[in-house]
Amino acid sequence: MAIFNRLKFEKLALGKSQVLAWAIAFFSGILMALTTAPFNAWPLAWIALVPLWVMVVSYQQPIITEKKQKFLFLPSSSHPLNPLNPLQNPLPNFFLLPVLWGIGYHGLALSWIMGIHPMTWLGVPWWPSLAIALFCWTFITLWGAALVTVWAWLFVILNSLTLPAKNPLLNSPPLPSQNLTLNSPPLQGGAGGGKTQFSALTRVLIGTALWCALESIWSTGSLWWTSLSYTQSPHNLPILHLGQLSGPAAVTAAIVAVNGLIAEAFIEGRRKKEEGRRKREEGRGKKEEGSGEKEEGKRKNWVAYILPAGLFLVLHIVGWSLYNRPLIQEAGTALKIGIIQGNIPNEIKFDSGGWRRALEGYTAGYKELADRNVDAVLIPETALPFIWTNEYQRSTLSFYQAILERGVVAWVGGFGQEENGLTNSLLAIDKTGQIVGRYDKLKLVPLGEYIPFYEILGGIINRLSPLDARLVAGNSKQLFDTPFGRAIVGICYDSAFAENFRYQAAQGGEFMITASNNAHYKPPMLAQHHALDVMRAIETDRWAVIATNTGYSAFVNPHGETVWKSGLNTYEVQDATIYRRKTRTLYVRWGDWLTPLLLVLAGLMRLILRN
């Protein structure tokens, strides 16, 4: 009976330990999500990754038999199973940790996607609309969680490969404690004075390089929004200026590195504490000596946190020095730009009543801005949903007639015509009514604007969903010329993809304009979209003009400061003076050079430590 009760207690303790580890991972992911707009608790980003880092580094995959490992790419250890260690269990339990962290972060940060429901205005019944919204939310959340999971998996593998080939500590039995942070081979491999610090720094370098590399890979696809870098926007402007050095990767690397150093300091403190406890249990040293060692251990543990604190401070000093540089604004480069926020609800946007309201509102706003002597007028994405490349169709519109009458350049959000379909376009129309510039939306929204793998899935989706999603994406090398010079352009979802803006800036773009609809999303998405536009303005060192249908329209200077921002769900007509710039930041010139450098350094450090 006593044996039975003991086994029952151990099983209960194991279950509680697993649940606790999963809960910590999930809630630390939620903490990271709270750093994004509109919550804007950005300081939490510098600690929210610490719990996951500690648990990933402390992971130990049990090997019950002495058989040779069959699968090279599964993390392993030479230690037997410790039944009371929640992370010394089969791989599914380990993978739940990054999955839950990713669900907490990406799930909450992207919860605004549910704002697309209900889609009854598109003819979608209420329940199918809910199912579509839930599917989209679940899929993009798990896609983001996959990045975190791959990072944790590769991190554990590379940590195991980093261990010295011969280390007596690896052949020693596990410590008798149930503390999960002390039975990990990576930690044991680094034990011993300077070697401990070197191993910890190597792990931080590897972890940072991996995260940046995975974000770089994910950002080349069609589903990208929640980079760690945007957790600092729009309020932590000094750290966002690191983006001028190497784009979003510089900000992400800063966040991951500081989190990693804090986690390593915590792990080292726990390791020393456990070693001291074990020595006392073994009767080594007198009581007075043990007390002195305890005080010294506490002091050294606090010293370990100086490194992450120092890095945090240095990063902000570097960012502040970039942020504090004066803006040189020559009078000859000034442009007075007007914005019209039409506030046309999606429910009526594509019917005759919506068209009339849009034409009346945008035409009246255009004339008002022309009377203010603006140089150009910007209206939002598909603000006037007509095929503007069709000369006859555009000639019948009152907005077009106003352009011919007042002679002020207009940047119009509408549709363009291609042989294989329509494009979501921004068109530059000069005072004579000619189209002198055109930008077609590069990053289309999956399912909303196009069907992925249409040749395979098109027929199935068309039968299951009433949504019409057949737009054609623009060319990644397209440029947008205006009567005032070349502009950097993004339409809605494009704002999440920094490389598109960097390329246009490198090709001579002198100011930035973005046009978005966003009417079918909740306010958190609108706030996050503005945060992304702020980042793009800083990275390219350009003035940004942002026009949206329902908010937030804005003017942003090259330091990321919002000069003016509209309200939500309001009709607004606003103008401001911006300045053309020809500066080229390090990021504009070289792109993301930091991620390859981190990968090379991580590889070299791993080889050095291995040998």
Q: Please list the active-site residues.
A: 381, 441, 492
To which residue do tokens 């957790």 refer? 231
Please give the DSSP secondary-structure letter assigned to residue 492: G
Cβ(403)–Cβ(410) below 8 Å:
yes
Looking at 513-591, list the stretches that DSSP marks H as alpha helix, in order from N- to C-terminal side: 523-540, 586-590
Q: Which of 29, 28, 218 is nearest to 105 (CA)?
A: 29
Cβ(98)–Cβ(152) below 8 Å:
yes
Q: Quote the CA–CA distance of 164 and 324 in Å, as a whole number.
A: 46
CA 600 to chain centre: 23
- CA gyration radius, the chain: 28
DSSP secondary structure letters along 198-250: HHHHHHHHHHHHHHHHHHHHHTTSS-----GGGGGTTT-HHHHTTHHHHTHHH
Query: How many CB atoms are located within 10 Å of the residue 14 CB?
Result: 18
Q: Which of 66, 29, 81, 78 is nearest to 50 (CA)?
A: 29
Q: Which of 449, 521, 464 is nearest to 116 (CA)?
A: 521
Query: Per DSSP, what are the bridge partners of residue 421?
Result: 418
Instruction: Determine the longest span between alpha carbons in the chain, in angstroms.
Output: 96
Q: Quote the CA–CA distance of 528 and 42 in Å, as a whole number.
A: 13
Q: Quote the CA–CA distance of 477 and 461 in Å, as a whole number.
A: 30
Looking at 65-121, list the stretches that DSSP marks H as alpha helix, in order from N- to C-terminal side: 91-109
| Cα distances (Å, whole numbers) of residue 301 to 54, 188, 298, 373 | 16, 17, 5, 64
Q: Which two tokens stand for residue 604?
A: 């070299």
CA angle 453, 215, 310 (to 5 degrees): 170
Question: For strand 544-548 and strand 511-516, is the pairing parallel, antiparallel, or unpaired?
Answer: parallel
